[in-house]
């Protein structure tokens, strides 16, 4: 129940959430806790009353006699006070965080506790209680509204929907933006009868002692419907009413589009949507009115998230949805010739007059964002997120085929009608200008959303292009029946034309027959593309409108000035360029949205889902063609997708294996790995493809970046330089191969190499690039499942030895005293660590010659492989001299030993470890996709750091602009390092991301949270104290940049970050901590914070 202060209630909810999810609690107790929590949060969701402000409570105490206090007088009369700052301070003071929740209303708190109940997936007993919860429909409906429209914590919603999916899809309840008028309030009435809703005294007096259910329903409806909901109901262009199942599916689709950057929510939401689609795919595809842009989101998510594939596979049972997938796959593949593609730019999501940059989600501040009032998106310079009703209205302007005034789903392009409606969407047009000299100019034009479908052709002999006066002013003149050609910038400058539709309506009133808008604004980039104009809430104009891109518009105006126009024609054309006899990708309808990036891996993922649902030889040929066109970076995505299908069932129960590692940075890393093998934990856990959590001893941080740094640490300090003589290099550290010396001195060599294979498998699974580049020949072995490739090149493996063998074959070897032995290299390469010290000192001893059978077993003791030690190539090789008669035999034996004999057993142990993540069937598919060099690059990325590429793919956030002083100083320092201290670039990259190497494909494919792609980001460090060093949020590849005084200060601070920032992760609280707050985990704050503060 709600108290005047939420503290007691929040403590109770926290206790119930912990107990309900506790795996070791008594089943009856945790089930009862789950029931109580579901019932209480349902009551809270019906209560939008805010918690009383602590400031007002204090004011009541201090002002009991009605006289203002001195503090009150000062706060209201001082002219030096900043009202905005005062309000921000008051708002922050009101946020009394209890158990990690700072929500100021019961309904927002309810979303927080439901999120905690489901954040680790629904336990079986929690799912069972949800399925039998009496008010499940009411809970799901109101939780959806709070999450969708009030930006409450979102993870509880997919958990509830997935647990109660069957009941929600079978419900006959109908809902619109909130609740359709006249819906059955019986569930809400039951809650009210139990006292779950606190009443105001006036309400109690008005209703009397007895109140009928009907009156109670009306009163509840009046109380819970705010002004925004009422406006949405009265808006004829809002989403139409739908049954609860379709309404929830559409809401999930909307949230998937606009809860950007949250991979955890994406995974859970895809699981819930997959659950609904598996029950009735036709209803979901018909009810999700944002299905077309959602399909783009799912295509990207399907490359790394199995549950997104589950949604796609559930939808493939519906033929129109399959056509939509093939259409998008063709657009992603870029199979259509350029002239076949209409020059259309569809803005959603989110559509707006100016096409903004993609929003940057500050994942690292996720916990703070949840616990604070939402800020205006305009503060970051990006378009605000459209509301539920607004986005439907805007999307109809892009995908509507029945005119802008209707509000039904039948006249929109949906997944449920894509095969029929996509071809009917007027997204392409043609403009033809004929001149007196017989020449003509044909340009692509995009029809406006209000144009009469395929009946908007206009032909005229005159144009009006005077832009000396604002549109609609007295000085603005238009010739009757002419075509008005106007720049987009001129519309912006016209006070009477706030939008497209008004500008066209004013043109019609002035006598125009059609309006052609030229996109001359560089807001949309240098291309200034044409896109479909919408009405944006205005009345549809009576004449048509078209848009041409900036370059075409300049050409049109130039020729109209130089030549005499005789005829001007413009009209919408049908998309009839698809051939029914072509391959499935080419035969699919044209994708109605533009701006789709070319991505062969996403195209392959979509086409593969369709192929599994409906196999065909021609589609299989398309799939093979797509794999041949993939870049190395796209192959990395393909491999991740293939592994996901192998290890994660499409409809898993969210319970994944947990592998945990606690690493001591300062202890020998190889010994810690051997302990993990003994205990079957960490890297040797039975399943490393579940949740893999790493903590460094004495450090509190967890997250993706911590795991990346741990893997890099193992690569350098366990395998390159760990004391086990496991790897050697023949090219100065550019690549590494197994060292045969380890088999004769290290009794744990087999388990160590298996650990190395497991590490590479885990790196592939997590999409981490390791600072351990294997030689391509070794990768050829691994791709071949541990067997030697058919061809081997000694010259590429060891150029110096290959030259020696060539000399021996062609020269006199008498007197060289050679025998049939090979040298053993016990030295270890410098891994480039900051301390330069080895974890384990090598054993000392005298050199000796080992027989091939002297390989150590796991039960043997370690022995020294001293400098000068050798191994026999054949039995008795130490006594067999190399002569002119035996030199060819010696060369052949040496080559065979180096290419096969010395590598076979170590690489087979590596392959055994690699197969724990990449089974033989995956390796078989990978051999068809990847060359050995491709596989090397997937494992270890790029050797160098291209600063220009780094800068080109950097995003700026927190109000920071590319021309800011601190940004210029940052890049000046980094560019200077590229010439003088290139190793510092790798250190800075590790400080910012947890990895020292750039992934294949460059900085455009930088890996962030949970293996997802995340751009390198520079964020304004206004929150940092004076003199602070830069702060890295490594899980999301972000650096908070403080205000640098000058170049020297910037250089000094960045050097300190490189030198000190890779030694430990620190969680540094920049706000006042509270004993009531729970420790933050990766689900609360998606990144670890690697910080160094200059005191």
> CA angle, corner 343, sides to 411 and 529, nearest 5?
110
**How does strand 514-518 pair with strand 544-548?**
parallel
pLDDT(1024) > 90: no
Mean pLDDT value across residues 517-540: 78
Looking at the whole model, is its pTM more than 0.95?
A: no
Exposure of 341 by Cβ count < 10 A (0-12 exposed, 13-18 middle, 19+ buried)?
A: middle
pLDDT(186) > 50: no
Alpha helices in 563-599 (DSSP H): 584-587
Say what the pLDDT of residue 691 is: 83
**Band of residue 847 on the pLDDT scale cut at 50, 70, 90:** confident
Say what the pLDDT of residue 100 is: 64
> In this predicted model, which residue has the larger pLDDT, 245 or 149?
245
Question: Do 46 and 67 touch, CB atoms closer than 8 A?
Answer: no
Residue 135: closest CA among 68, 44, 70: 44
3-state helix, strand and coil shares in percent for the chain, rounded to the nearest 5: 50, 10, 45
**Band of residue 705 on the pLDDT scale cut at 50, 70, 90:** confident
What three-state secondary structure class fits 623? helix
Mean pLDDT value across residues 326-335: 86
CA distance 511 to 477: 9
Percentage of the chain beyond pLDDT 90 is 34
Mean pLDDT value across residues 958-986: 91
Which helix (H) or strand (E) segment is 1081 a member of? none
pLDDT(117) > 80: yes
What three-state secondary structure class fits 888? helix
Percentage of the chain beyond pLDDT 70 is 75
Say what the pLDDT of residue 218 is: 52
CA distance 425 to 447: 10
CA distance 925 to 605: 15
| Residues found in the chain | 1095
Say what the pLDDT of residue 583 is: 76
Residue 169: closest CA among 129, 204, 140, 203: 140
- Residue entry with tokens 């991740």: 640
- Condensed to tens digits (0 to 9), the pLDDT of residues 887-944 reads 999 999 999 999 999 999 999 999 999 999 999 999 998 988 889 999 999 999 998 8
Say what the pLDDT of residue 158 is: 92
Ranking 372-381, 514-523, 821-830 by mean pLDDT, the lowest is 372-381
Mean pLDDT value across residues 101-116: 80
Strand-pairing partners, residue 445, are 429
Residue 570: closest CA among 666, 389, 441, 449: 441
Concatenate the DSSP letters of all residues of 733-791 into one string. TS-BEE-TTHHHH-TTHHHHHHHHHHHHHHHHHHT---S--B-HHHHHHHHTTTSPPS-
Mean pLDDT value across residues 526-535: 79
Say what the pLDDT of residue 252 is: 93
Mean pLDDT value across residues 611-628: 88
Mean pLDDT value across residues 785-792: 88
Ranking 389-403, 451-465, 799-813 by mean pLDDT, the lowest is 389-403
- Condensed to tens digits (0 to 9), the pLDDT of residues 675-697 reads 999 999 999 999 998 888 899 98
CA distance 1002 to 946: 8
pLDDT(225) > 70: no
Mean pLDDT value across residues 717-735: 87
Ranking 309-318, 362-371, 1070-1079 by mean pLDDT, the lowest is 362-371
Say what the pLDDT of residue 407 is: 52
- Condensed to tens digits (0 to 9), the pLDDT of residues 949-965 reads 999 999 998 888 888 99
Concatenate the DSSP letters of all residues of 332-385 into one string. HHT-S-GGGS------PSSP-SS-PPPPPP-GGGHHHHHTSPPPPGGGGTSPPP
**Band of residue 1065 on the pLDDT scale cut at 50, 70, 90:** low
Ranking 401-405, 518-522, 993-997 by mean pLDDT, the lowest is 401-405
Question: Do 909 and 750 touch, CB atoms closer than 8 A?
Answer: yes
Q: What is the 3-state secondary structure (H, E, C) of 38-94?
A: HHHHHHHHCCCCCCCCHHHHHHHHHCCCCCCCHHHHHHHHCCCCCHHHHHHHHHHHH
CA distance 511 to 438: 28
Distance of CA 903 to the CA centre of its chain: 39
pLDDT(160) > 90: yes
Strands in 565-573's sheet, in edge-to-edge order, are 458-460, 565-573, 428-435, 440-447, 544-548, 514-518, 483-487, 463-464
pLDDT(654) > 70: no
Question: Do 399 and 536 touch, CB atoms closer than 8 A?
Answer: no
Say what the pLDDT of residue 357 is: 31
Token digits of residue 447: 């029809």
Highest mean pLDDT among 300-314, 780-794, 816-830: 780-794
Ranking 91-105, 227-241, 853-867 by mean pLDDT, the lowest is 227-241
- Cα separations in angstroms, 916 against 109, 909, 1013, 1015: 42, 12, 25, 30
Mean pLDDT of the chain: 78
Strand-pairing partners, residue 737, are 728
Say what the pLDDT of residue 1077 is: 34
Question: Do 540 and 406 touch, CB atoms closer than 8 A?
Answer: no
Q: What are phi and psi of 562, to 5 degrees?
A: -85, -25
pLDDT(50) > 90: no
């Amino acid at each position: 129940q709600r108290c005047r202060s939420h503290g007691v209630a929040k403590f109770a909810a926290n206790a119930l959430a912990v107990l309900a999810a506790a795996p070791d609690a008594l089943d009856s107790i945790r089930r009862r806790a789950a029931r109580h929590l579901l019932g209480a949060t349902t009551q809270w969701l019906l209560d939008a009353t805010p918690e009383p402000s602590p400031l007002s409570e204090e004011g009541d105490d201090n002002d009991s006699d009605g006289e203002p206090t001195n503090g009150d007088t000062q706060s209201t009369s001082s002219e030096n006070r900043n009202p905005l700052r005062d309000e921000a301070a008051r708002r922050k003071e009101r946020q009394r965080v209890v158990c990690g929740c700072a929500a100021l209303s019961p309904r927002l708190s309810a979303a927080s506790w439901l999120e905690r109940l489901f954040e680790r997936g629904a336990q079986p007993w929690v799912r069972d209680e949800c399925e039998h919860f009496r008010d499940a429909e009411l809970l799901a409906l109101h939780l959806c509204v709070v999450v969708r429209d009030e930006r409450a914590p979102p993870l509880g919603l997919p958990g509830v929907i997935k647990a109660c999916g069957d009941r929600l899809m079978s419900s006959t309840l109908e809902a619109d933006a909130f609740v359709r008028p006249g819906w059955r309030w019986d569930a809400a009435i039951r809650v009210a009868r139990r006292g779950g809703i606190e009443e105001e005294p006036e309400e109690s007096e008005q209703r009397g002692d007895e109140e009928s259910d009907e009156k109670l329903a009306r009163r509840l409806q009046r109380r819970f419907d705010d002004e925004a909901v009422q406006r949405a109901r009265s808006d004829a262009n809002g989403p139409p009413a739908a049954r609860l199942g379709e309404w929830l599916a559409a809401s999930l689709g909307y949230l998937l589009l606009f809860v950007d950057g949250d991979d955890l929510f994406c995974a859970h939401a895809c699981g819930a949507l997959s659950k609904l689609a598996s029950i009735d795919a036709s209803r979901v595809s018909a009810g999700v009115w944002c299905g077309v842009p959602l399909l783009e989101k799912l295509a990207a998510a399907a490359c790394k998230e199995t549950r997104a594939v589950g949604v796609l596979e559930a939808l493939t049972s519906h033929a129109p949805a399959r056509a939509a997938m093939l259409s998008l796959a063709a657009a992603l593949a870029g199979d259509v010739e350029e002239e076949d593609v209409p020059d259309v730019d569809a803005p959603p999501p989110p559509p707006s007059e100016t096409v903004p940059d993609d929003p940057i989600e500050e994942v690292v501040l996720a916990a703070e964002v949840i616990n604070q009032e939402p800020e205006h998106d305009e503060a970051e310079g990006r378009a605000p997120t459209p509301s539920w009703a607004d986005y439907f209205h805007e999307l109809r302007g892009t995908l509507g085929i029945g005119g802008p005034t209707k509000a039904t789903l039948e006249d929109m392009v949906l997944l449920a009608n894509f095969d029929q409606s996509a071809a009917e969407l007027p997204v392409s047009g043609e403009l033809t200008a004929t001149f007196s000299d017989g020449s003509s100019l044909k340009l692509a034009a995009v029809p406006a959303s209000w144009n009469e479908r395929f009946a908007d052709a206009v032909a005229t002999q005159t144009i009006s292009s005077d832009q000396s006066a604002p549109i609609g002013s007295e000085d603005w003149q238009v010739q009757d029946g002419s075509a008005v050609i106007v720049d987009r910038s001129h519309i912006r400058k016209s006070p009477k034309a706030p939008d497209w539709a008004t500008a066209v309506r004013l043109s019609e009133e002035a006598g125009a027959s059609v309006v052609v808008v030229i996109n001359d604004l560089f807001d949309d980039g240098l291309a200034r593309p044409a896109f479909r104009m919408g009405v944006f809430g205005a009345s549809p104009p009576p004449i048509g409108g078209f848009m041409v891109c900036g370059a075409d518009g300049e050409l049109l105006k130039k020729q109209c000035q130089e030549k005499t126009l005789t005829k001007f024609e413009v009209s919408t054309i049908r998309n009839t360029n698809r051939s029914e006899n072509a391959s499935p990708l080419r035969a699919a309808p044209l994708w109605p949205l533009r701006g789709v990036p070319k991505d062969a891996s996403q195209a392959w993922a979509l086409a593969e889902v369709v192929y599994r649902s409906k196999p065909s030889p021609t589609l299989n040929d398309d799939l093979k063609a797509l794999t041949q066109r993939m870049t190395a970076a796209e192959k990395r995505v393909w491999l991740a997708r293939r592994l996901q299908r192998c290890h994660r069932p499409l409809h898993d129960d969210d319970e994944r294996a947990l592998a945990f590692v606690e690493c001591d940075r300062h202890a020998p890393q190889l010994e810690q790995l051997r302990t993990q093998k003994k205990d079957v934990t960490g890297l040797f856990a039975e399943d490393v493809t579940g949740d893999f959590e790493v903590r460094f001893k004495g450090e509190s941080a967890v997250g993706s970046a911590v795991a990346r740094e741990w893997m890099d640490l193992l690569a350098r300090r366990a395998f390159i330089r760990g004391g086990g003589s496991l790897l050697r290099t023949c090219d100065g550290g550019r690549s590494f191969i197994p060292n045969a010396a380890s088999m004769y001195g290290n009794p744990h060599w087999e388990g160590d190499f298996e650990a190395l294979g497991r590490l590479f498998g885990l790196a592939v699974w997590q999409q981490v690039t390791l600072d351990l580049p294997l030689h391509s020949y070794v990768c050829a072995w691994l791709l071949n499942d541990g067997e030697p490739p058919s061809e081997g090149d000694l010259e590429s493996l060891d150029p110096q030895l290959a030259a020696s063998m060539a000399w021996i074959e062609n020269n006199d070897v008498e007197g060289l005293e050679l025998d049939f032995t090979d040298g053993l290299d016990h030295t270890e390469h410098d891994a480039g660590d900051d301390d330069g010290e080895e974890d384990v000192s090598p054993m000392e001893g005298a050199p000796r010659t080992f027989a091939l059978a002297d390989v150590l077993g796991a039960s043997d003791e370690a022995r020294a492989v001293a400098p000068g030690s050798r191994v026999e190539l054949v039995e008795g090789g130490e006594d067999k001299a190399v002569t002119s008669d035996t030199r060819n035999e010696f060369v052949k034996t040496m080559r065979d030993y180096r290419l096969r004999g010395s590598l076979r057993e170590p690489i087979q142990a590596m392959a055994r470890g690699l197969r724990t993540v990449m089974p033989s069937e995956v390796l078989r598919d990978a051999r068809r996709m990847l060359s050995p060099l491709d596989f090397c690059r997937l494992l270890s990325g790029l050797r160098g750091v291209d600063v220009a590429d780094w800068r080109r793919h950097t995003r700026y956030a927190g109000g920071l602009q590319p021309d800011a002083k601190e940004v210029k100083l940052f890049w000046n320092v980094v560019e200077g390092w590229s010439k003088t201290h290139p190793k510092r670039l790798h250190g800075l990259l590790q400080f910012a991301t947890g990895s020292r190497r750039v992934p294949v494909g460059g900085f455009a494919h930088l890996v962030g949270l949970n293996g997802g792609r995340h751009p390198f980001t520079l964020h304004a460090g206004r929150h940092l104290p004076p003199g602070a060093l830069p702060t890295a949020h490594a899980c999301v590849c972000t650096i908070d940049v403080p205000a640098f005084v000058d170049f020297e200060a910037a250089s000094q601070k960045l050097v300190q970050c490189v030198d000190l920032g890779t030694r430990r992760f620190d969680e540094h609280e920049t706000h006042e901590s509270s004993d009531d707050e729970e420790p933050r985990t990766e689900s609360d704050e998606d990144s670890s914070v690697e910080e160094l503060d200059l005191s």
